[in-house]
Amino acid sequence: MSIDVKRFGKVAVLMGGTSAEREISLMSGGGVLAALRSQGVDVHAFDPAERELAELKREGFARCFIALHGRHGEDGTVQGALELLGIPYTGSGVMASAVAMDKVMTKRIWLHEGLPTPRYVVLGHGQHDNAHTRTVPDTLGLPLIVKPPHEGSSIGVTKVAGYSQMQGAVELAARYDAEVLCEEFIDGEEVTCPVIGDGAEARALPVVKIVAPEGAYDYQNKYFTDEVKYLVPSGLPAAEEAEIQRLVLAAFRALGCRGWGRADLMIRGSDRKPFLLEMNTSPGMTSHSLVPKSAAAAGMAYEALCVQLLALARLDGTKA
C-alpha cells in the first residue's frame, strides 16, 4: 500500500527531552528524521528540552513523530500537551502512555486480565529502610530484580543475589523513583515482540530473542556495544512464537495502547512459560533497536516502518 507523504504536512520529530534516556532519544530521533526525510516528508527535529511545545502550533506543524523515551515523553504528559494543541501524534494516547510507563499499574491491569507477569513487591515512600527491604527476598525468593517503576532502558535496575545486596539496590532505584519495584526473577530466555496498528487491526511482528553476554542486558550493552545478539527469526518453536505474539497483543489491548509498542518478556526455562515484564509505548529506533530488527524480518524496511508509524498518528478519540 502506497502512502502519500504529502498529506502529512509539516512534521516534527520530538527527540531529546529531559528524561534519563535523553541520549537514546536523540539517537532514535536522528534515525527517524533521516528516514522520513529520505521518503520526501517535510520533517524537522524538535527538542522539548530546548523549545516550548506551543511553538509546534505557532510554526504550523501538522503532526508529530514522538521519538522521546522515558518521563515527559512516554508517560502521557507530552501526549496530553499535543491533545490540547490539537496536533496528531504517533503511539499511544494519554491514558495508555501513562499506565504503561508505570510498571506497577501495568502489572495490576495484566493480572486483572489474567495475563502472566512475575510476582512483585512495591516499596513505597518511607519503606526504603533496611527493616522493609530485608523482608522482600522472603516473599519473592532469590535472586530477584529491583528497579524504578517509571524508568526504562534498564536504568537503575539491579539483579540481587543475596540479602546483603538489597539495601544498595533499593537505594539505587530510589534515586530515580519515589517507589521501588521488587520483582521475582524469571530464569530463562529474554524475548521481545513489537506490535503495530490499532485495535482489531493491530498485529504482532516477529519475536526477537535477546542473547546478552552473561545475561547482562543492561544500558551499556543495549546501546553501546555489539556484544548482544538479537535472533530474528527467534528460533523458538512455532507454537511458542505464536503464543508470545498472542500474549503481547492481549497485553497491548488491555492497556489501551495504539499505533505501536513493544512488549518485553521472559520465558521460564523450567516449563517454557512466558511472563510479561513491561510494555514500551515509545520504543527505541536506534541502529541497535528491536522494533526495526523485527520489522525487517517481516519484510519492512526502516524507512517504510517510520512512514507507516507516522501514518497512524492521531489524537485520542479520532481515526488516523
- Phi and psi at residue 209, to the nearest 5°: -95, 135
Closest CA to 207 of 274, 150, 118, 139: 274
The pLDDT score that the predictor gives to residue 55 is 98
The pLDDT score that the predictor gives to residue 95 is 98
pLDDT tens-place string over residues 2-13: 899 999 999 999
Whole-angstrom Cα distance, residue 55 to residue 53?
5
> Contact 188/143 with Cβ under 8 angstroms?
no
Q: Exposed (0-12), middle (13-18) or buried (19+): which is 222, by Cβ within 10 Å?
A: buried
Going by their DSSP bridges, the two strands 203-204 and 274-280 should be labelled as: unpaired
CATH 3.40.50.20 at 5-94, yes or no? yes
Residues recognised as catalytic: 21, 153, 223, 262, 264, 278, 280, 284
Span(s) in the chain for CATH 3.30.470.20 = 99-116+186-311
> Contact 107/51 with Cβ under 8 angstroms?
no
Whole-angstrom Cα distance, residue 277 to residue 103?
8
Span(s) in the chain for CATH 3.40.50.20 = 5-94
Range 28-42 average pLDDT: 98
Whether the per-residue pLDDT at 224 is higher than 60: the answer is: no
> Contact 211/199 with Cβ under 8 angstroms?
no
Per-residue pLDDT band for 217 (boundaries 50, 70, 90) equals: very low
Span(s) in the chain for CATH 3.30.1490.20 = 120-184
Whole-angstrom Cα distance, residue 262 to residue 192?
7
Fold of 120-184: Dna Ligase; domain 1 (3.30.1490)
Range 18-33 average pLDDT: 93
Whole-angstrom Cα distance, residue 197 to residue 261?
9
> Contact 70/15 with Cβ under 8 angstroms?
no
Measured torsion, CA atoms of residues 226, 203, 44, 319, in degrees rounded to the nearest 10: -160
Fold of 99-116+186-311: D-amino Acid Aminotransferase; Chain A, domain 1 (3.30.470)
